[in-house]
């Protein structure tokens, strides 16, 4: 991004303007482009797809009226929420209540600075990339606590407190899982981590050694918990807390929270792709534009697969209790993530150049696990003899 702006300045555009002003304009333009052409449609379509996927999995219909198969439902929802009255309860804190959704949204949107879309397509390839991502995500907690407290409602307050406790706890296993990858890559830059991997699955950090394999699942579980997703959505558990910290919100402010939640699903998938799944690495085919498009498609598909898995998990698993949630984090995931960090370090000492056979073996093991899983699903479907509708839509 900076290189692109530099080349534009070199070519004689923007003559007579201070370079800092040009950079500032470029930053605002990049933020605008990422928000309106990528994040907003992505979060919207994800919201529609999630409802359709759940509906399929739970034998319901789901939204299918607006546009073909209901794909424009998110636009209708957006317009509806924009036109709604911006309601601020009389008992709510008049200063902090309107402010909270923006803080949550800032924390979520700032992560897109370091998420790449291709080898050249990134807003800024920061040297501290992944650490920056963890740091800006921690702002979300403050916004959620603010929303919970300022609503002046006990459900909101309980939801906000639960959410903050959950995010702060699950940051530890997530951070430690990321740390073991930083060991391997020797850099925190997102592009640097991707460049150290290859396009082939056995060159991914996921299959580098047994410890990173565990770290991937730790990261994904912890990230789901940080994103307040089922089975960890106790902050907005409908059966106990109405809607948690968003109970009092309506209209666009309500939508901002869910915008951040759906967009955050993609961030989870993208970080998993950067760290474990080889990012945008593609085999050397074509050049320039073709390669760029292919990189974008590969990265997006890998990231979106995990968005789908998150929807799948949400549609099938019940939510955990608060004590189970904390016990899972502190008694199992934190020790396991420490094991991953130490194990990765030990592996690097024993095999300074990596172990190719172990990687290929891990890859084969992964494929076998996946095949067994699908075999099991097939078996269940055959033997339970459910009424199946195998058309892709209802």
Partner 1 sequence: MEVGTVVFYLIALLVVASAAMVAFSHNIIYSAFSLLGTFAGVAGIYVFLGADFVAAVQLLIYVGGILVLILFAVMLTHRITDVQITNRSAGVVPGLIIVGLLFWLLYETITTTPWAKAKEIAYAATSAKIGDQFLQSYLLPFELASIVLLAALIGAVVLARKEMKG
Q: How far apart are alpha carbons 103 and 309 in whole angstroms?
A: 28
The yes or no reply on residue 289 touching partner 1 (CB under 8 A) is no
Binders of partner 1 among 61-120, rule CB under 8 A?
Answer: 93, 95-96, 103
Minimum CB distance to partner 1, residue 136 (Å): 7
Distances (CA, A) of 41 to 38, 74, 109, 262: 6, 9, 14, 11
The phi, psi pair for 195, rounded to 5°, reads -65, -25
How many residues in the shown chain lie near partner 1 by CB under 8 A?
31
Q: How far apart are alpha carbons 159 and 317 in whole angstroms?
A: 20
Structural tokens at position 54: 């759940």
Q: Which stretch binds partner 1 (CB under 8 A): 29-37, 131-139, 283-291, 355-363?
A: 131-139
Select from 29, 33, 128, 368 the one that contacts partner 1 (CB under 8 A): 128
Q: How far apart are alpha carbons 230 and 112 in whole angstroms?
A: 24
Question: Among 174, 183, 382, which residue's Cα sits nearest to residue 272?
Answer: 174
The phi, psi pair for 14, rounded to 5°, reads 55, 35
Q: Which stretch binds partner 1 (CB under 8 A): 39-47, 137-145, 246-254, 283-291?
A: 137-145
Our CB check for partner 1 shows the closer of 133 and 362 to be 133
Our CB check for partner 1 shows the closer of 73 and 189 to be 189
The yes or no reply on residue 203 touching partner 1 (CB under 8 A) is no
Q: How many CB atoms lie within 10 A of CB 88?
A: 17
Our CB check for partner 1 shows the closer of 95 and 350 to be 95
Our CB check for partner 1 shows the closer of 171 and 203 to be 171
The yes or no reply on residue 136 touching partner 1 (CB under 8 A) is yes
Contact present, 225 and 325 (Cβ < 8 Å): yes
Structural tokens at position 394: 């209802």
Our CB check for partner 1 shows the closer of 152 and 355 to be 152
Q: How far apart are alpha carbons 126 and 139 in whole angstroms?
A: 19
Q: Which stretch binds partner 1 (CB under 8 A): 132-140, 217-225, 238-246, 314-322?
A: 132-140
Q: How far apart are alpha carbons 267 and 261 in whole angstroms?
A: 10
The yes or no reply on residue 275 touching partner 1 (CB under 8 A) is no
Select from 75, 142, 339, 358 the one that contacts partner 1 (CB under 8 A): 142
Our CB check for partner 1 shows the closer of 30 and 158 to be 158
237-244: long-range contacts, CB 8 A cutoff, minimum separation 24: 237/319, 241/155, 241/158, 241/159, 241/162, 242/155, 243/155, 243/159, 244/148, 244/155, 244/156, 244/158, 244/159, 244/160, 244/162, 244/163
Q: How far apart are alpha carbons 354 and 361 in whole angstroms?
A: 13
Minimum CB distance to partner 1, residue 210 (Å): 26
Q: How far apart are alpha carbons 40 and 88 in whole angstroms?
A: 25
Select from 42, 109, 147, 157 the one that contacts partner 1 (CB under 8 A): 157
Query: What's the longest Cα–Cα distance across the chain?
Result: 75
Binders of partner 1 among 172-201, rule CB under 8 A?
Answer: 188
Handedness of CA 390, 391, 393, 394 (dihedral sign): negative
The yes or no reply on residue 45 touching partner 1 (CB under 8 A) is no
Specify the DSSP class assigned to residue 70.
G
Q: Which stretch binds partner 1 (CB under 8 A): 64-72, 81-89, 127-135, 349-357?
A: 127-135
Q: Which stretch binds partner 1 (CB under 8 A): 50-58, 128-136, 278-286, 310-318?
A: 128-136
The yes or no reply on residue 16 touching partner 1 (CB under 8 A) is no
Minimum CB distance to partner 1, residue 175 (Å): 9
Our CB check for partner 1 shows the closer of 161 and 326 to be 161
- For partner 1, what does the binding mask look like between residues 324 and 353, x meaning CB under 8 A? ------------------------------
Tokens 């949204």, residue located: 105
Q: How many CB atoms lie within 10 A of CB 132?
A: 19
Tokens 């494929």, residue located: 367
The yes or no reply on residue 164 touching partner 1 (CB under 8 A) is yes
The contact set with partner 1 (CB under 8 A) reads 18, 20-21, 24, 93, 95-96, 103, 126-128, 131-132, 134-139, 141-142, 145-146, 149, 157, 161, 164-165, 168, 171, 188
């Amino acid at each position: 991004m900076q290189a692109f702006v530099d080349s534009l300045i070199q070519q004689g555009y923007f003559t007579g303007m201070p370079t800092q002003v040009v950079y500032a304009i470029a930053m605002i333009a990049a933020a605008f482009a990422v928000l309106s052409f990528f994040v907003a449609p992505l979060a919207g379509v994800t919201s529609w797809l999630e409802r359709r996927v759940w509906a399929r999995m739970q034998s319901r219909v789901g939204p299918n009226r607006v546009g073909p198969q209901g794909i424009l439902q998110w636009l209708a929802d957006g317009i509806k929420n924009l036109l709604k009255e911006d309601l601020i309860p009389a008992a709510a804190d008049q200063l902090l209540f309107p402010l909270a959704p923006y803080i949550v949204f800032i924390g979520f949107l700032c992560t897109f600075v370091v998420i790449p879309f291709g080898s050249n397509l990134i807003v800024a390839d920061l040297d501290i990339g992944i650490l920056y991502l963890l740091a800006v995500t921690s702002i979300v907690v403050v916004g959620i606590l603010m929303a919970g407290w300022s609503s002046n409602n006990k459900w909101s307050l309980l939801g906000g407190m639960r959410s903050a406790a959950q995010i702060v706890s699950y940051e530890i296993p997530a951070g430690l899982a990321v740390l073991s990858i930083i060991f391997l890559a020797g850099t925190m830059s997102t592009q640097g981590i991707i460049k150290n991997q290859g396009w082939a699955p056995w060159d991914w950090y996921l299959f580098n050694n047994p410890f990173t394999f565990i770290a991937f699942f730790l990261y994904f579980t912890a990230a789901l918990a940080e994103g307040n997703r089922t089975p960890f959505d106790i902050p907005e558990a409908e059966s106990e807390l109405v809607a948690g910290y968003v109970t009092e919100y309506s209209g666009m402010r309500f939508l901002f929270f869910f915008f951040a939640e759906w967009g955050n699903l993609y961030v989870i998938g993208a970080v998993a792709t950067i760290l474990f799944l080889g990012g945008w690495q593609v085999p050397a085919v074509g050049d320039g534009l073709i390669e760029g498009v292919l990189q974008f498609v590969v990265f997006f598909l890998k990231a979106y697969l995990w968005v789908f898995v998150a929807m799948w998990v949400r549609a099938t698993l019940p939510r955990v209790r608060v004590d189970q949630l904390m016990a899972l984090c502190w008694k199992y995931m934190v020790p396991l993530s420490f094991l991953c960090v130490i194990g990765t370090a030990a592996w690097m000492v024993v095999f300074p150049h990596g172990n190719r056979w172990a990687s290929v073996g891990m890859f084969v093991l992964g494929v076998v696990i996946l095949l067994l899983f699908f075999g099991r699903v097939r078996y269940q479907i055959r033997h339970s003899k459910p009424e199946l509708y195998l058309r892709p839509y209802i």
